[in-house]
Amino acid sequence: MHQHIKTTAMMAACALLLAACGSSDDDPVPVTPPPVAQPQPQPPVVTPEPVVTKLEVLSSSARAMDSVAFYGGAAYVSLANSKTEGSAVMRATLPLTTASNWSPVGMGGCAMAPQGDFIMRSPRIKMVGENMWLMQPWADTPDTMNEPSTCTLMASTASFIPRDQDLKVCNEYFCETLSMQDIELHNGRLYSNAGGGNNLLTSKDSGATWQVVRGSKESIMCYSSKFHFIGDRLFVGGECPLDMAFVESYRMNADGSKLASEDKLPMTLPDLENRNVQFIDSVEGTKQVFVGVEGGLLRSEDSGASFKFVIHEPLTDAKGYPYIGAFLALKDKPSTLVIGGFDKMHGRPYLAWSKDGGSTWTDISSMVPGYANKADDEHGTGSVSAIMQDPQGRIIVVVNERADGQGRLMQLTLGDK
């Protein structure tokens, strides 16, 4: 009997299950398949156009241009004097374009007179601290002897004002005003090479008074030495006596007022022969120091303890002989360097760049206006006189197609290669 009850219960359970799910004779319930994902259209692959190295004119002048500076949202360019016009500084609002409007800056008595019987002279402008400094050759002639050799443009002044009162010196025979080719601000002090030769002067009162660090406070019949500071070390280089090129380094005292010692710091250099020094500069954030010399370029990778040539043209049978006086390391890419000057052998401008910190160089001189000039051109050799980066990060190059004129303010774009 128990077996009968168990069998009956199982049959009832199966009947309920079949009633709920349907019998095996019913059609299967259709199942909707998931939607098939359709392939999405892909945007076309766009290959970026390669950046091409080019040099474009932003502004031109019949007169020679010496330098460019950026100050208070504007660009400033210095112009040489001519037979009919005195020297000048022109200003245009940033960013610079070919349509920029250039207007003269008040010279306040700091302009050099028209050439007359004297040679063309160019003022050099440079931002030093918060002020713009103007440096220009002083000449002892009746028409020029009252011209200042050094002036400044400050935020509180509308025009340049003389700043060379303590650079007027006299001896038992005559009086003169010392001219400087460069000025730097380092650790709160100004330094300049006023007077030429091995002279290096310093001022702690914004140029009101000057004291001697090297040389003397008088004009020296040698090329002005170039100088540069790295920490408490002073680097100097030049050619004085003539045809005796040198690069030296000294330690400064605690307040930077004089040399800590007359002893030179150890330095390893190749033979400079008679190659006068054109500039000394270092690359911020690295241990690289560069020295431009006649026909070559020296590089140090140990903060100036030793140097080797990275550009070196022989004195004879060279393919060119560049005088490299302009140097720029890009602020956002310090391994990218641009150098400029002139090729004395061929009498034409010189411009080159490196993307590997100066190990290899690409010569782009053929892009520079004046490159096709003849070496014996009566107007003299064209040159690249300055290379700067503007506040927008663009590379601005100052070019003169001739030694005595045809200045060009240009923008350099470096290509992918």
For 280-325, give the DSSP string: EEE-TTSS-EEEEEBTEEEEESSTTSB-EEEEE--SSS-S--EEEE
Exposed, middle or buried: residue 63 (CB in 10 Å: 0-12, 13-18, 19+)?
buried
Would you kindly state where each structural domain of the chain is located, as residue ranges?
A: 54-65+119-413
Sign of CA dihedral 223, 229, 232, 233: negative
115 Cβ partners below 8 Å, 6+ apart?
Answer: 81, 82, 83, 121
The token pair that represents 353 in the structure block: 């760049």
How many angstroms separate the CA atoms of 184 and 191, rounded?
A: 5
**How does pLDDT run along the chain (417 residues), one tens digit per residue?**
444 444 444 444 444 433 444 444 556 666 777 777 777 777 777 777 777 899 999 999 999 999 999 999 999 999 999 988 999 999 999 999 999 999 999 999 899 989 876 788 899 999 999 999 999 998 777 777 788 999 999 877 789 999 999 999 998 888 899 999 999 999 999 999 999 999 999 999 999 999 999 999 999 988 899 999 999 999 999 998 888 899 999 999 999 999 999 999 999 999 999 899 999 999 999 999 999 999 999 999 999 999 999 999 988 888 899 999 999 999 999 999 999 999 999 999 999 999 999 999 999 999 999 998 876 666 678 999 999 999 999 999 999 998 888 999 999 999 876
- Maximum pairwise Cα distance, the chain: 151
Q: What is the pTM of this model?
A: 0.85
CA angle 324, 227, 307 (to 5 degrees): 65
184 - beta bridge partners? Answer: 191
* CATH architecture designation of domain 54-65+119-413: 7 Propeller (2.130)
